C-alpha cells in the first residue's frame, strides 16, 4: 500500500474486502490517517467501471429515470438550497460528477447557467433525457480543460478520485476570482459504522477510493491550495433507514434519503429531527459539507 496523500507505506487494515469486490481491501495510513482502497484502481479500470454503470448495477439499483428522480430529488433540492445563496443571477456553475443531470436541471430552472461534467457513458446517456444542459465528457485527472466558473460543485465525487490533491488543484484553476467550491462526501465518522456490522460491510465499495472524515478532508483541501474552508455536517438518511439497518441489516436502496412522511411525520417528526440534529451536532452524521475559496 502507498498512501495516495502522503505516500507513506505503513497502514492498518480496516476491511479485507468490499461489498462488491474481493480484489481490494480498505486500509488506514498510519501517518496521515487517510482511509483508502488498496490497490488503487487504475484510471482505465475506473473509466470502464463508470462507463458500464457498475456502482449502481453491482447492488441491483434500477436505472429507470422515474426511480432515479424519486430517489435523488430530496438531495437535489437540499443541495440547491445550499448553493443558491452564494450565486448571483445567471452565475456560471460547473457540476463535476453531474451523474444523471437532475442537479444541473434544477439550477437551470432557477435561472443559473450550469454545465455538467461526467465521465460515465451510462450516466451521460440518462442525463441527455433529463436535461438540455451541456454535459462535458472530461476527466480532469488526464484531460486538458481551461475555463472559469463562479461556482463549482462536487457532490459525492472526491471519494471516487485516485489522485485527490492533483484533482483539486486542477479544480481550483477553474474557479473565477472569488469563486467558490462546494464539496460533499460521505463521513467516515458516521455513527452507523460503529453500531451496525451489516452497514459496515455495505459501506466499503469499489467506487470509493478514499473515505474522509472532517480532518482528512480539510488536510486534502488545504494541501490543494484552498485556504478559506468552512465545514459542516448533514444527515441524509432518516431514522427509518437507521432502524432498517439495525433490525433487518439491509439498506433502503429505493428511497434512502427520505424522512418519515405523512401521518407518521405528524406524530414522529420530532424524533426524526432530534435524530438528525444530534448526529450533526456530534459530527457523527453520514455526510460532510465543505465550502472553499481559492
The per-residue pLDDT for range 4-52, each reduced to its tens digit, is 999 999 999 999 999 999 999 999 999 999 999 999 999 899 999 999 9
User: pTM for the complete prediction?
Assistant: 0.95
- Give a yes or no: residue 242 inside a domain: yes
Give the chain as a 3 state SS string. CCCCCCCCCCEEEEECCCCCCCCCEEEEECCCCCEEEECCCCHHHHHHHHHCCHHHHCCCCCCCHHHHHHHHHHHHHHHHHHHHHHCCCCCEEEEECCCCCHHHHHHHHCCCEEEEECCCHHHHHHHHHHCCCCEECCCCCCCCCCCCEEEEEEECCHHHCCCHHHHHHHHHHCEEEEEEEEEEEECCCCCHHHHCHHHHHHHCCCCCCEECCHHHHHHHHHHCCCCEEEEEEECCCCHHHHHHHHHHCCCCCCCCCCCCCHHHHHHHHHHHHHHHHHHHHCCCCCEEEEEEEC
pLDDT tens, position by position, 171-225:
999 999 999 999 999 999 999 999 999 999 999 999 999 999 999 999 999 999 9
- Give a yes or no: residue 23 inside a domain: no
Residue 204's CATH number = 3.40.50.150
pLDDT band at 85 (very low <50, low <70, confident <90, very high): very high
- Give a yes or no: residue 175 inside a domain: yes
- Give a yes or no: residue 289 inside a domain: yes
- Give a yes or no: residue 1 inside a domain: no
- Give a yes or no: residue 15 inside a domain: no
Domain count, the chain: 1
Domain that holds residue 140: 47-293
Percent of the chain with pLDDT over 90: 88
- Give a yes or no: residue 159 inside a domain: yes
- Give a yes or no: residue 38 inside a domain: no
Amino acid at each position: 500500500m502507498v498512501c495516495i496523500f502522503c505516500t507513506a507505506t505503513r497502514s492498518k487494515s480496516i476491511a479485507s474486502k468490499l461489498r462488491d469486490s474481493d480484489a481490494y481491501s480498505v486500509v488506514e495510513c498510519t501517518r496521515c490517517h487517510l482511509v483508502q482502497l488498496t490497490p488503487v484502481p487504475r484510471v482505465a479500470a475506473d473509466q470502464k467501471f463508470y462507463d458500464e454503470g457498475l456502482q449502481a448495477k453491482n447492488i441491483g439499483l434500477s436505472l429507470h429515470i422515474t426511480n432515479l428522480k424519486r430517489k435523488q430529488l430530496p438531495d437535489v433540492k437540499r443541495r440547491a438550497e445550499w448553493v443558491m445563496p452564494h450565486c448571483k443571477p445567471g452565475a456560471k456553475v460547473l457540476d463535476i460528477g453531474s451523474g444523471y443531470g437532475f442537479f444541473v436541471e434544477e439550477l437551470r430552472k432557477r435561472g443559473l447557467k450550469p454545465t455538467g461534467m461526467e465521465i460515465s457513458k451510462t450516466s451521460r446517456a440518462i442525463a441527455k433525457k433529463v436535461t438540455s444542459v451541456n454535459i462535458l465528457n472530461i476527466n480532469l485527472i488526464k484531460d486538458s480543460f481551461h475555463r472559469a466558473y463562479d461556482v463549482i460543485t462536487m457532490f459525492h465525487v472526491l471519494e471516487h478520485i485516485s489522485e485527490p490533491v492533483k484533482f483539486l488543484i486542477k479544480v481550483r484553476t477553474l474557479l473565477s476570482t472569488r469563486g467558490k467550491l462546494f464539496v460533499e462526501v460521505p463521513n467516515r465518522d458516521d455513527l452507523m459504522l460503529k453500531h451496525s456490522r451489516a452497514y459496515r460491510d455495505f459501506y466499503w465499495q469499489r467506487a470509493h477510493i478514499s473515505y474522509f472524515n472532517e480532518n482528512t478532508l480539510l488536510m486534502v483541501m488545504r494541501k490543494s491550495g484552498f485556504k478559506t474552508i468552512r465545514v459542516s455536517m448533514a444527515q441524509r438518511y432518516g431514522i427509518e433507514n437507521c432502524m432498517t439497518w439495525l433490525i433487518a441489516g439491509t439498506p433502503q436502496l429505493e428511497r434512502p434519503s427520505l424522512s418519515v412522511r405523512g401521518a407518521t411525520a405528524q406524530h414522529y417528526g420530532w424524533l426524526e429531527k432530534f435524530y438528525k440534529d444530534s448526529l450533526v451536532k456530534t459530527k457523527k452524521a453520514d455526510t460532510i459539507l465543505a465550502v472553499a475559496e481559492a
